[in-house]
Amino acid sequence: MTLFKQIAIIFSMFIILIIGSVMYLNFNSANQFIQNQLYTTSEDTATSLGLSISMNIPKDTKDLSTIETMINAIFDRGYYESIVLKDMNGNVLVKNKNLLKVKSVPNWFINSVDLQIPTAQTQISAGWIPYGVLSVKLHSGHAYMQLWNIFTEILETFAILVSIVLLMLYFVLKFILKSLQGVEQQAMAITNNDFIIQEKIPFTTEFKNVVIGMNKMVAKVKDIFEHEALIVQKYNDLLYNDQDTGMGNRKFFSLRLSSLLDQQDAKSSGTIIIFVLNNFGETKKIVGYKTLSSYINRLAELFYETTSSIEERVVTRLKDSEFSMILPEADYEKTKKIVYDFLEKTEAALPDELRKISNFYISGGATYFNERDKQKDILARADFALSTAKMKSETNVHFHEIKNDESLMQLGKEEWHKLITTAIKEDGIKLALQAVKDISGKIYHQEAYLRMSDTTGTIYPARVFMPMLNSLRLTDEVDKKVISIALKLADKGTTIAINIATSFIKNSENMYWLENIFKKSSALNLHVSFESSNYAIIHNIENYINFSKLIHKYNYQFGIDNFNITDISLNYLQDLKPAYIKANKSFYIDMHNQGKNNSYESFNILTKSLDIKIIATAVENKNESDYLKEIPINLMQGAFIEEPIL
């Protein structure tokens, strides 16, 4: 029970008791007053009537007609219950009596009220000789009517007073305890990784001190979070960024390529191009550092500008004269358009000083990759293509002739449409599950990778059919199917994590559909996590914050896949409230190896303060697993932990 309710109940009972007691005493006083009034009236009537009878006693004591007339006259014109004349022996001489009937007063009231109606008596004498005793009792009906009117008035007054006092009490308590509610919100917000500062300070001394203390504590926690986030970001800049251009460096190239290969979806395939500025050292001596540095900075801008159409593209400076592009989901045709556009713009940006140097030109080597490739094999092919391009002694990019046979299925759009729609209807959409386990071998969850089978039972990875899904606008239908399958698996006891596409959550109809699904399954307590890549999240932050709120509302989890640190503030983690983040094992190992910067310690403080679990992915062998345990990282995923199982 809340403090407000406790105080309100205690004060309400006290107020009702006080006002009720006052009203009760008031009613009793009215009752006593009426009884006294009735007795006085009865006594006056008995005295005056007795005196009149005494003066008119007949000589024949048996002749009572005169006395009866006198008694009847008094009885008929007043509110009397009885007037009785008895002789000295107690024999009734004259008796007039009314039955007690009160129509306007409820019986329960008459039975509940103890109203004592006094009987007044006076002795009648004929001269010095006692004649009899006259008894007069007033009718109680009139008294009950008076008391009933008084009771209803008191009751109305009681109701009005109690209502007014309780209403005043409600607003007074609300006002006084408002600051306490703010403190409660602050405390709950901290548990949800939000930092709220109360601007309004209460005037009550005790509450004022509590609020000021809470504000100081929240400010300190917020400062700690922001300080550690800043340290992690500075570390990331030092470790993964080229200090001259701001592009990623060789470590970043290796980290992102490994992460893409590990995704096992459409982005696990694409094209890599490595560029080199020929005769870099000699050119630098001729034109000077400033001219060459200015041109390189312009090249960096062109790398970002010409690849902006590719989601999750990676551009890096591998060393002084060497650069790279990683273009996920880009085949050779799409890549060639980007590369030729880049070369055309670099030629236009070439300053006159460099244009005069004949042996200063750009060579590039391109190769296709997919998740079956090893990183060293991809780089070997790219280096071979680069060596071939250099042989021409002019600006040129050579494409290594390797093709992805699965992606070249000779199917038209209609055939693809039939294949995919049939798969959706006939359970051809499959999920390959790969476990995330802790160091004891316990499964944290199983990540689902999309697969599709045709009528012959042939299984295709996502990179084969995802481009066609996008082209045919069937992505949402497949995503809905995946979510339905995941919920069914969760209903059977599987703790499952599925990737959610940005295009899916941007569609309001999809969100309406998803919320209806959540409502139907809310009572089942299913363990399902929804995750998206860090790149997709930071480029659609508002959409993902709203999506995160939706799934948290129905007690599902949200996770971040392929996590890496960018130039965007890590404060977005507070808004998203992810249950976990997944990052390539190299991200944690590199961070831990830079122990002198306390970077991993800061990262660990940051994630713990937000209750975020960290998961290392792409763990390929025992040495990597053992090293991660020493860091320590307790949750791992990769081929060494478990291969994806269909």
- Given 163, 186, 208, the domain boundary residue is 163
CATH number at residue 43: 3.30.450.20
Does residue 181 fall inside a structural domain?
A: no
Per-residue pLDDT at 327 exceeds 50:
yes
- One domain for residues 441 and 330: no
Segment (H or E) for 272: strand 270-277
CATH of the domain at 273: 3.30.70.270
Which of 356, 384, 406 is where one domain is finished? Answer: 406
Q: Which domain holds residue 26?
A: 3-163
Q: Is residue 175 part of a domain?
A: no
Burial of 384 (0-12, 13-18, 19+ CB in 10 A): middle
Is the domain of 432 the same as that of 323?
A: no
* Token pair in block for residue 13: 């009972």
DSSP code for 105: S
pLDDT of residue 65: 72
Query: Does one domain contain both 493 and 579?
Result: yes
Between the CA atoms of 509, 515, 521 and 524, what dihedral angle is there, to the nearest 10 degrees? 150
Is the pLDDT reported for residue 100 higher than 60?
Answer: no
Q: Is residue 173 part of a domain?
A: no
Looking at per-residue pLDDT, the higher value among 445 and 76 belongs to: 445
Q: Does a structural domain hold residue 236?
A: no
252 lies in the same domain as 366: yes
Which residues neighbour 131 within 8 Å (Cβ) at sequence distance 6 or greater? 53, 54, 57, 61, 87, 88, 124, 125
Dmax over CA atoms of the chain, in Å, equals 166
Three-state secondary structure readout of 30-99: HHHHHHHHHHHHHHHHHHHHHHHHHHCCCCCCCCCHHHHHHHHHHHHHCCEEEEEEEECCCCEEEEEECC
| Pair (402, 482) in one structural domain | no
Rg, Å, the chain Cα set: 48
CA–CA gap between residue 424 and residue 452 (Å, rounded): 9
Does the bond joining 632 to the residue before it have cis omega, within 30 degrees of 0?
yes
524 and 567 both lie in a single domain = yes
Least-confidence region, from 115-124, 161-170, 310-319: 115-124
Residue 539 lies in a domain: yes
What digits encode the pLDDT tens for the residues 366-404?
999 888 888 888 888 888 889 888 888 888 899 887 655
My answer on whether 386 and 420 are in the same domain is no
Q: How many domains does the chain have?
A: 3
Average of per-residue pLDDT across 424-432: 87
Of residues 59 and 512, the one with the higher pLDDT is: 512
Please identify, among 386, 406, 426, the residue that sits at the C-terminal boundary of a domain: 406
Work out the burial of residue 111: count CB atoms within 10 Å of its CB; fewer than 13 is exposed, 13-18 middle, 19 or more buried. Answer: exposed
Q: Is residue 240 part of a domain?
A: no
Q: Within this chain, do residues 396 and 414 fall inside the same structural domain, yes or no?
A: no
pLDDT digits over 342-371, tens only?
999 998 888 888 888 888 889 999 999 888
Assess if residue 430 is contained within a domain: yes
Kindly state whether residues 394 and 411 are assigned to the same domain.
Answer: no
Closest CA to 240 of 645, 591, 598, 593: 591
Residue of 64, 110, 71 lying closest to 87 (CA atoms): 64
Is residue 536 in a domain? yes
Cα–Cα distance for residue pair 47/43, rounded to 1 Å: 6
- Please report, for the domain that includes residue 438, its CATH number: 3.20.20.450
Question: For residue 103, how many C-alpha atoms fall within 13 Å in the half-sphere facing its CB?
Answer: 0
- Residue 467, pLDDT > 80, answer no
User: Which residue do the tokens 């409820």 mark?
Assistant: 106
Cβ atoms 58, 66 nearer than 8 A: yes
- Tell me what percent of the residues of the chain surpass a pLDDT of 70: 87
For residues 175 and 157, give the distance between their C-alpha atoms in angstroms, rounded to a whole number: 27
Please tell me whether residues 19 and 153 are part of one structural domain.
Answer: yes
- CA–CA gap between residue 436 and residue 378 (Å, rounded): 27
Q: Are residues 383 and 485 in the same domain?
A: no
**Mean pLDDT, the chain, integer:** 81
Q: Do residues 422 and 395 share a domain? A: no
